[in-house]
C-alpha cells in the first residue's frame, strides 16, 4: 500500500456504488453467525452499541435483529452508504444513522456505549491511525469488537488494505483483548474476532480459554458452547481422531462440504479426495444416491480406503439415505462420535 494513499477519498468514491460483498455469501453467513454467538456467549451488555463503518448495513441489521432491545448508532463516511443502510435495515426502529469521519476527531454521537463494533473496517487504515482510533473509542465504550484479517498475506496487499497485529494494537492502547479464530478460511486466509476492554470479565476469559483448549468441558455454571463457536475445538479433535483411526499414508475421501480449509496441511501424510471431486477439487454435493454411489466406486478404484464424514456434513447421512444404507451394510464402521463418522471401504 502507498503511504500517501487517501483512505477517505477511496471510500467516498467506492461508497457511491458499493452494495455487495466480494466474498462468498456462505462465508459471510458463517461470519455473522460466529459473531452473534460469540457476543451472546461473552455476556457483554448490549444496551448501547456504536458501529463504525456500517456500509450498506449488513452487520447493522444483524445486530438490530439479534439484540432488539439495544440502541444502535451506525456511523459511516459515505452519505450514499448511509442511505443504502437505511433502506436495507428497513423498519428496525432501534437504529440511528450518522455521517462521521474518523479522521476528523469530532465527538462521537454519544459518550457511553457498552460496545463499539467494527467489522472489516480497521484493516483499511494504517497502524498509527488504528491505534489512535482505539484510544479514542476506549474513551466512550466499555468493549471494542472487531473482525479483520490478522496474518500476513502471501501476496501484495492492495492500496486500501493493511494487515495488523490487533492484540498488540490493543495492548498499545492500554486494553486487554480476547481472540477468537473464525472457523473457515477464504483464499487460504483466516479472520479473527477480537474483544477488548480495560478489564476483561471472568466470563469472557473463560470463553476464550474454552475455545483454545480442545478438551475443555463446560462447568456446572457455564453453558455449552454453540457449534460455530466450538468449530476450532471440534476441528482439532477431528484431525486427531482421523490420525488415530486411519493408518498414516492411506487415501481417504473427506466429506466436509469444503469447510475445513486446511486439511491438506493438517493431515499431511494422507492422500485426500474431496467429495464430490473433479481434478482434485471439491465439486459440490451429489445430485442423488446413485451419483454418490458411482463416485464412491470411482474413488475406491483410485485407491481410497476410507470415507470420513465431518460433523458439519452429517446431513448427508439423512439426505442420501440410500448411500448411507450402503455404507452401513457394505463397509466397516471405524468410528462414530459427535465429530466424525468413518467407514473403511471393503474391496
The pLDDT tens digits of the residues spanning 308-325 come to 999 878 889 988 999 999
- Cα distances (angstroms) measured from residue 101 to each of 11, 129, 320: 11, 13, 53
Residue 222 pLDDT grade (very low, low, confident, very high; cuts 50, 70, 90): very low
Mean pLDDT throughout 229-246?
Answer: 84
* Whole-angstrom distance, CA of residue 75 vs CA of residue 55: 8
Q: What is the pLDDT of residue 28?
A: 79
- Which pLDDT does position 216 carry in this prediction? 46
Pick the more confident residue, 81 or 224: 81
Predicted local distance difference test score (pLDDT) of residue 119: 95
pLDDT in the model for residue 47: 95
Residue 18's pLDDT is what?
Answer: 61
Residues ≥6 apart with Cβ < 8 Å to 151: 163, 189, 190
| Whether pLDDT at 49 is above 80 | yes
* Tens of pLDDT, residues 131-170: 999 999 999 999 999 999 877 776 777 777 888 999 999 9
What is the pLDDT confidence band of residue 35, given thresholds at 50, 70 and 90?
Answer: very high
Report how far residue 167's alpha carbon sits from residue 178's, in angstroms, rounded to the nearest whole number: 8
Q: Of 256, 259, 235, 227, nearest to 34 (Cα)?
A: 227
173: closest CA among 160, 164, 182, 181?
164
Whole-number pLDDT of residue 264: 72
Q: In the chain, what percentage of residues exceed pLDDT 70?
A: 87
Q: Give me the pLDDT at residue 285, please.
A: 86
pLDDT confidence bin for 92, thresholds 50/70/90:
confident
Contact 190, 181 (CB under 8 A): yes
Q: What's the rounded mean pLDDT across residues 108-114?
A: 93
pLDDT of residue 215: 46
Question: Is residue 77's pLDDT more than 50?
Answer: yes
H or E element in which residue 115 lies: strand 113-119
Looking at residue 46, its pLDDT comes to 94
Lowest mean pLDDT among 44-48, 282-286, 341-345: 282-286
Better pLDDT: 24 or 102 = 102
Q: Which domains does the chain have, with CATH numbers?
A: 7-212 (3.40.50.150), 231-344 (no CATH)
294: β partners: none
Contact 228, 34 (CB under 8 A): yes
pTM above 0.95, yes or no: no
pLDDT of residue 267: 86
Alpha carbon separation from 68 to 36, 77, 229 (Å, rounded): 13, 25, 22
Edge-to-edge strand order for the sheet containing 340-344? 271-274, 251-255, 306-310, 340-344, 332-336
Amino acid at each position: 500500500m502507498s503511504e500517501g494513499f487517501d483512505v477517505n477519498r477511496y471510500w467516498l468514491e467506492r461508497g457511491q456504488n458499493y452494495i455487495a460483498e466480494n466474498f462468498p455469501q456462505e462465508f459471510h453467513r458463517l461470519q455473522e453467525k460466529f459473531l452473534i454467538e460469540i457476543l451472546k456467549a461473552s455476556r457483554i451488555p448490549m444496551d448501547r452499541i456504536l458501529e463504525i463503518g456500517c456500509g450498506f448495513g449488513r452487520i447493522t441489521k444483524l445486530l438490530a435483529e439479534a439484540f432488539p432491545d439495544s440502541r444502535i448508532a451506525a456511523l459511516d463516511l459515505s452519505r450514499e452508504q448511509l442511505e443504502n443502510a437505511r433502506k436495507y435495515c428497513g423498519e428496525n426502529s432501534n437504529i440511528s444513522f450518522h455521517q462521521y469521519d474518523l479522521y476528523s476527531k469530532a465527538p462521537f454521537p454519544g459518550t457511553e456505549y457498552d460496545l463499539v463494533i467494527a467489522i472489516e473496517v480497521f484493516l483499511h487504515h494504517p497502524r498509527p491511525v488504528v491505534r489512535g482510533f482505539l484510544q479514542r473509542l476506549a474513551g466512550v465504550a466499555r468493549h471494542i469488537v472487531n473482525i479483520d484479517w490478522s496474518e500476513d498475506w502471501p501476496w501484495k496487499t492492495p492500496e486500501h488494505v493493511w494487515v495488523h497485529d490487533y492484540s498488540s494494537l490493543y495492548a498499545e492502547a492500554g486494553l486487554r483483548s480476547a481472540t477468537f479464530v473464525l472457523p473457515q478460511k477464504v483464499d487460504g486466509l483466516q479472520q479473527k474476532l477480537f474483544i477488548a476492554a480495560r478489564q476483561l470479565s471472568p466470563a469472557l476469559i473463560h470463553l476464550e480459554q474454552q475455545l483454545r483448549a480442545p478438551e475443555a468441558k463446560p462447568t456446572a455454571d457455564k453453558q455449552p458452547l454453540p457449534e460455530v463457536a466450538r468449530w476450532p475445538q471440534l476441528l482439532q479433535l477431528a484431525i486427531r481422531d482421523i490420525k488415530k483411526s486411519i493408518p498414516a499414508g492411506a487415501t481417504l475421501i473427506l466429506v466436509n462440504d469444503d469447510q475445513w480449509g486446511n486439511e491438506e496441511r493438517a493431515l499431511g501424510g494422507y492422500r485426500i479426495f474431496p467429495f464430490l471431486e473433479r481434478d482434485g477439487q471439491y465439486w459440490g454435493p451429489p445430485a442423488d444416491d446413485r451419483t454418490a454411489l458411482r463416485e464412491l466406486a470411482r474413488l475406491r478404484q483410485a485407491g481410497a480406503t476410507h470415507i470420513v464424514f465431518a460433523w458439519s456434513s452429517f446431513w448427508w447421512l439423512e439426505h442420501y439415505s440410500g448411500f448411507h444404507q450402503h455404507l452401513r451394510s457394505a463397509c466397516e464402521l471405524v468410528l462414530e462420535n459427535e465429530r466424525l463418522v468413518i467407514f473403511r471401504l471393503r474391496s
